[in-house]
Structure 1
C-alpha cells in the first residue's frame, strides 16, 4: 500500500483528467447571464423606452447641429484657358550687315528706351561717311570760288559802268562843241576845218561810248555765268550733304538700341558673328502690362461688353491672381471655332506673371449681392428635388401633417418643441464647398447640417449649437 500512493501522485494521466469539469459550470452560468442581460436591454430599448416616451408626449428629439445660411456676393462667371501676351515685345534684327563688335547686355537685364544693347562693326560705313563728307567740303570750296569770281565780275562791271558814264559825258561835251561850231560856220565865224575837227571828236567819243557799253554787256554775261556756276555748285553741295546725311543715318543702324523699357530675353548670337537683316539679335519684352486673348463661345457673345471684369486665376485651386477688364471685342466671329475674340489687359508691375504663360481666365458676367449659400452636405435630394431642413417650433402645419399620417395624439410633440421643416430649394452653382440657393431660403434662416438621413419633415430635434464652420466664420 505504501508503494501505490506515489504512483498516483507522480502519474501524468488517469486521475488528473476530471479537473476541467470544475470550470465548465461557471462558464455556462456566465453565458446565460450575458444572454439574459442583452435580452433585457433589447426589451427596454424596443418596448419599455417607447412606452415611457408615450407617456411623455412623443418620441425623443434627435440631436442635430444647425448653422445659419451664409450670405455673400455671388458671381455669374465663366472660366477659360488663356495665354498671356506682352503688349510690347520685339525681336531685334539689324538693318545692315556686318560683324558683331560688342554685346552690351546679358539675358535678363532690364533696359530703358534708347539704351545701346549691341554694336555692329561700323568701320566700313564710317569710311563711306568720311568720303561723302570730303565731297561736301569740295562742293563747298567750289561754291566759295564761284562766289569770289562773281564778286570780282561785279566789281569789274561797276568800273565799266563808271567808264561808260565818263564816255557819255564826253559825247555830250563833243556834241555841244560840234553844234556851236556848226552855228559859227553858218555865220562865217569858223572855218570848215574846225567844224570837221569837232565832228571827228564827236564821232570818236560816240565810238568810245559804244565800246564801253559793249564791255558792260560782256561783263554782265560773265557775271551770269558765275552765278550759274554758284547755283550748280550749290546743287552739288546739297546733294553731297544729303549723301552724308543718308550715310550717317545708315551708320546709326550699326548701333542697336532698345526701342522701349523692358527686359532682355534670349541672345542667340555672340561677338564676332556675321549678321544680316534676317538675323535675330535678341528679344526685349515689357512685362509690366500683359494681355490675354480668349475665344468666347458664340452663345455667350450677346453678354460681352467692354469693361467687363476678368480675373486671372491659378490653375491650382482657382485663386484669383490679377483683375483686369475687357478692352477689345472682335467685330466678327472666327469661322472655324465659332467664337468671338476678346482681349483684356492686366497690370503686372510686380513681375509675377510671364509672357506665353498658360493661365485660367474667369470672365465675370454679373455680381449678385447677399446671395444665399449653404454647405453642399446640408442638401438632401429626393425624387429629383433638392431640399434642406429648417429648424422651427412645432406648429399647426406640423400637427396637421402628423394627424394626417395617423400618429396618435399621445405621440405628438409639444407645441414649443423644436422640429425641422423640409424646405424645397432651387439650387444654383457650386462655389467651393457651398452651393448657391436661388429660391427657398432667406438670409436669416438656419439649417440642419448633420443627421440628414434620420430627419424628416416635422421631426423633433434638439439643437446642438454652432458648427465649426460657423464658429470660424464668426471669428473672421
Structure 2
C-alpha cells in the first residue's frame, strides 16, 4: 500500500509543477502584450509610438478638420467671359456618297480582248475602257451592207422600168395595169431598202458596243473581269464601276424642328455651310453647303434628311466614308460667350460662379445657344469676368476661392478647340489642390511646430519622410512598426 501511495503522490506533484510552469509562461506573455499595448496607446518611446505619431501627423493634416480636408479658399480654375460672334450649328453623322455611280456592263456578249483603264484612277466621260472581240459584229455589219447594196441596185432597175412603162402607157403601147404593177414594185423595193439600212445601222451599233467607254467622269473601281473572259450584258458586277466624286455628297438627318429655318435659307438663296470631320473630330476633311432636303419627315425618328455637296477637288472624300457633319444654321453677333463647363444647373436655375478678389458670386443667366465647348449666354455678366470652370461643386455664393489657372483670353471660351478643354483645366486644378495638400501634410503640423514623429525616427530619414506622399509615409511607418523589436 505504501508503494501505491508513494507513486500517486509523485504523479500529483509533477502535474502541479507543469501547471505552475504554464501559468508562469502565460503571465510573462500577458505582461509583454500589455506593455506593447500601453506603449502604443500612450505614445511612449519606441518604434510603435513613433509610427503612430507619424501616422497621425501625416494622415489628413487638417488644420481645423474642415470639409474636404481644408478650411482655406477652394482652389478653382477660371476662364474669362468674352463678347464675340458664336456660330449656331447642328452636329450629325453621315456617310459620303458619290454624286453619280455607274456600273459599266458589256452591251454585247463576247471575249474581253483588252483593258485600257487603270484601277482606282480617274477617267473621263467617253474614255475607252475595254475592247470586246469585234470580229463577229464586223461580219454582221458587212452582211447588212451587202444586202443594202443589192436592194439599191434592184430599186434602181425597177425605177428605170417604171419610167419606160409610163412612156408606153402614154403612147397607149402598154396596158395601164402593167404600169401600176411596176409602181408597186418600186415602192416595195424602197421599203426593203429602208429595212436594209436599219439592219446596217443596227450592225454598226452592235459593233460600236465592242468598244466599252465610260458613261460618266469619275474614279474607276477595281476590274470585275479579266482578259480572255466572256462578258455578257447580264453580268451582275459588270466590267467595273465608276463613282463620280467631284462633287461628293453626304446625306445626314437633322431634327424636324430645324426644317423651317433650313427651308427659309434655301428659299432665300442663302448658303448653309457644312463641314465634314473625321471620326475623332480632330481633322476637318472638307467644307461644302446644303443642296436640298428630303420631301418627307421620318415619323419614327422625327428627323428629315438633308443632302450637302462638297467640291472634293483633292479627292479626299470616298463613297461610303463615315464623317461627322457640322451644319451651321446661323451666327449670333456680339454675344457673351462662356465655356460650357462653367454653366451650372441647380436649385437657383442656370447659373455660373464668378470669382473677383477671391470672393465667389453666383450669377444667374439664360442660354442662347451652345457650340461644343462654348455657350452664348445672357445675364448678369460682362466681358472680362472670371467664371469658374473646375471646382464649382465645392463653392457657394459669397465663399472664398483661390484661382489656380486662368486660361489665355483666346482660349477662355474656345469654341471647338482641339486638344484642350474642361478636362485640361480640371487636371490643373486637381494637381494644384493635391500639391497644396501635400505641402500641408509634409509640414507635419498646422501651427508650424516641430512634429513629434520627427523625434521618433533617425535624423537621416526626416528629409526623406517629408518628401514622401502621405500614403507612402504611412506605409513606411507601418512597415517599420511591425519589424521593430519589442523593448
TM-score, length basis structure 2:
0.59
1:146 equivalenced with 2:146 (yes/no): no
2:380 matched to which residue of 1? 440
User: What is the aligned partner in structure 1 of residue 408 from structure 2?
Assistant: 469
Residue aligning to 1:257: 213
Structure-to-structure mapping, 1:315-330, within 5 angstroms: 315-317=279-281, 319-330=283-294
Report SS of the residue matched to 1:234.
helix
Deviation at 1:82, TM superposition (A): 0.8
The 3 A distance-change label for structure 1 pair 310 and 241 is same
Matches for 1:357-436 after TM superposition, within 5 Å: 357-375=321-339, 383=347, 385=349, 387-390=351-354, 421-426=361-366, 431=371, 433-436=373-376
Partner of 2:107: 95
Secondary structure class of the residue paired with 1:77: strand
Determine helix, strand or coil for the equivalent of 1:290: strand
Unaligned runs of 5+ in 2: 1-56, 58-62, 65-71, 413-487
- How far apart are 1:352 and its partner, in Å? 0.8
- Deviation of 1:271 after TM superposition, in Å, equals 1.1
Q: 1: CA distance between counterparts of 2:229 and 2:79?
A: 73
Give the Å deviation of 1:273. Answer: 0.7
Cα distance change, pair 74–272 in 1 and its aligned pair in 2 (3 A): same
> What are the within-5 Å matches in structure 2 for residues 46-445 of structure 1?
68-154=80-166, 160=171, 214-215=172-173, 218=174, 221-279=177-235, 280-298=238-256, 301=259, 303-305=261-263, 306=266, 308-317=272-281, 319-334=283-298, 337=301, 339-375=303-339, 383=347, 385=349, 387-390=351-354, 421-426=361-366, 431=371, 433-443=373-383, 445=385
Q: Tell me the distance in 2 between the aligned counterparts of 1:470 and 1:426.
A: 22
Distance 1:435 1:287 in 2: 36
Check the 8 A contact 1:288/1:350 in 2, yes or no.
no
Q: Deviations over 1:291-345 (max 9, x none)?
A: 1222334555555424644322222135543333333323333455554333222
8 Å contact from structure 2 (residues 128, 213) kept in 1: yes
CA deviation vs aligned residue, 1:126-179 (integer Å, no higher than 9, x gap): 211111111100110001112222334455567x4xxxxxxxxxxxxxxxxxxx
Give, in angstroms, the shift of residue 434 of structure 1. 4.4
Q: Are the counterparts in 2 of residues 426 and 440 from structure 1 also a CA contact under 8 Å?
A: no
Say which SS state the counterpart of residue 317 (structure 1) adopts. Answer: coil
Q: Which moved more, 1:436-445 or 1:284-293?
A: 436-445
Instruction: Give the Å deviation of 1:267.
Output: 0.7
Rounded Cα–Cα distance in structure 2 between residues aligned with 1:338 and 1:62? 45
**CA shift digits 1:264-288 (9 cap, x unpaired):** 1021101111111121111111111
Report the Cα distance in structure 1 between the residues aligned to 2:327 and 2:344, rounded to whole angstroms: 31
Which whole-Å CA distance do the structure 2 matches of 1:116 and 1:240 have between them?
A: 30
Larger radius of gyration between Structure 1 and Structure 2: 1
Q: 1:382-438 CA distances to partner (integer Å, 9 max, x unpaired)?
A: 65655445466xxxxxxxxxxxxxxxxxxxxxxxx8966442334577655544434
- C-alpha spacing 1:264/1:63, structure 2 compared with 1 (3 Å): closer
Mapped partners of 1:471, 1:322: distance in 2: 25
CA contact (8 A) 2:79 2:407 kept: no
Aligned equivalents of 1:146, 1:381: Cα separation in 2: 101
Deviation by residue 1:67-89 (Cα, 9 ceiling, x = unmatched): 64123433333322211111111
**Contact 2:80–2:407 (CA<8 Å) still a contact in 1?**
no
Distance 2:298 2:388 in 1: 50
In 1, Cα distance between the equivalents of 2:183 and 2:144?
25
Cα displacement (A) at 1:463: 9.3
The Cα offsets for residues 233-274 of structure 1, whole Å up to 9 and x where unpaired, read as 211111111111122222222221111211110211011111
TM-score (structure 1 length as normaliser): 0.60
Which residue is equivalent to 1:42? none
Aligned residues: 344
